[in-house]
Amino acid sequence: MNRSPRGKRNFKKGDAHLHARKTVKFEFIHNHRHEHTIVKMCDVLGVSTSGYYLYLRRLEREETERERWNRQLDERIQFHFHDNLGTYGSPRIYKKITQEDGIQVSLKKVTNRMSELGLYAVPSPKFIHTTDSDHDQAVFKNVLNRNFQPEAPNKVWATDITYIHTGEGFLYLNPILDLYSRRVISYAIDDHMNHSLPLRALNEALSKRQPKHGWVHHSDRGSQYCSRNYLDALRQADATISMSRKANPYDNACVESFFASLKKEYLYKWVFKTKAEAIQAVQFYIEFYNRKRMHSSLDYATPIEVEVAYMKAQKKDTTKDFTTSA
């Protein structure tokens, strides 16, 4: 597994240093002052020589209180940014710094410091769909109707299929998400996407969770989810079957959002030579996603934190009912 290529590295226009903040450029010039002339490096990097010498004078004097504060804040920002795979923008970094580090700082200040440090969350990629809805099998109406906030776990599950490119060909991933906590409760990954792929994920989820009668299973109208074996498994599990409208990914926005996060936050950073490497990466990210990644839709909690909080609340309510009963 190799880092995704970002272009050739050389001391010419197009180099990353040309797009860096001035302090980084001046530091680069200072570190290479014995290899190139100061004037030449300043010209190539688009900074003034007077600015460089002002930078040197600042290095020689004592650090001011403001500079010390910015430096300490920058250290925490960089720690949380890289500790979370470079996936967090300023709102999540702000939550980490104020809640975990106990540092009193404004969101605007964090945003400005991240911009100064050149730290940005990876932009969203375009979606490529894998749905085959052109078939003669039975389809079901959209019972969920974009109600993505059930009141408890195991009330609504959603699923879909996406592809992952490797040097050995494509892999197909089918996760199942509990929409209460956004947790990936099971998934299947293979080099095909016939009906057995989602069926494996479904059977694993049912074995783990055993949802009660009437729970909602939502998917698109893909042939895999309309197959006889898959529908039989849902009926045996007493599921209410819900399907997105044709060619409408917004009806399954939560799973689409998970795919976007998986790819832009992790998979697109790597080039997978083998399918085994890609499978390992997916396993790693899903653990990160469930246990560590803060979700803005969950008030910046993780999926597992949300489920643990729900179970604790249920136990407290049960104890309260018991102690107050006649």
What are the pLDDT digits (tens) for 290-317?
999 999 889 999 999 999 999 999 887 6
Phi, psi torsion values for 169, nearest 5 degrees: 115, -175
Please tell me the distance from the alpha carbon of residue 218 to that of residue 249, in angstroms, as a whole number: 12
In order of their start, the domains of the chain are 7-117 (no CATH), 156-307 (3.30.420.10)
Q: Among candidates 219, 202, 196, which has minimal Cα distance to 130?
A: 219
What pLDDT is stored for residue 11 in this prediction? 44
Please tell me the distance from the alpha carbon of residue 284 to that of residue 265, in angstroms, as a whole number: 12
DSSP secondary structure code for residue 156 in this structure: E
Q: Among candidates 141, 133, 144, which has minimal Cα distance to 250?
A: 144
Say which residues have a Cβ less than 8 Å from residue 127's Cβ, sequence separation at least 6.
Answer: 249, 256, 259, 260
| Share of residues in the chain with pLDDT > 70 (%) | 86
**What pTM was estimated for this model as a whole?**
0.65
